[in-house]
Structure formats: C-alpha cells, structure tokens
Amino acid sequence: MPNAYEKAARQEQLRAAEQNDLAAQAHRTAAEHNEKGSDAEESWHAQRALEYSDHAYKLAQEAHNK
C-alpha cells in the first residue's frame, strides 16, 4: 500500500501529465493559427503552451524530489 509521500508524488505526476496535455493542445492550436496566418492568435497560444510546459516541468521535478 502506498504511503503518504508516494500518494503525493503520484498526484504531482498526474498534475504534470495534465499540464503536458494542455501544452500539447495549445501547441496544436498555435500551429493551426500559424497556418492561417493569424500571428496574434498563434503567438497567444504559443505563450500558453510555454506556460503549461514550464508548469508541468516544475510539477514533475517536485514529484521526483518527494
């Protein structure tokens, strides 16, 4: 049976995976806007993707360090 630390690490891993999924979706949306020539919307979605990706990285580090 997992202890409290293992459970907390697992929760962090799940949150990191969710953030990675959001980053991937934002990247796809940014690429779609780029193909359409919509620079402002492409830039906005690319920025969101970077934020989600950075957050996922931090959560993964926290999970690893637990």
Q: How far is CA 32 from CA 8, 41, 50, 54, 59, in A?
A: 37, 10, 16, 22, 28
pLDDT(63) > 90: no
pLDDT(66) > 80: no
Task: Name the residue with higher pLDDT: 32 or 12.
Answer: 32
Q: Where are the alpha helices (DSSP H) in 37-65?
A: 39-65
Q: Distance between CA atoms of 8 and 27, rounded to whole angstroms? A: 29
Annotated domain spans of the chain: 4-65
3-class DSSP state of 2: coil
Q: Distance between CA atoms of 7 and 10, rounded to whole angstroms? A: 5
pLDDT(14) > 80: yes
Q: Confidence class of residue 15 from pLDDT cuts 50, 70 and 90?
A: very high
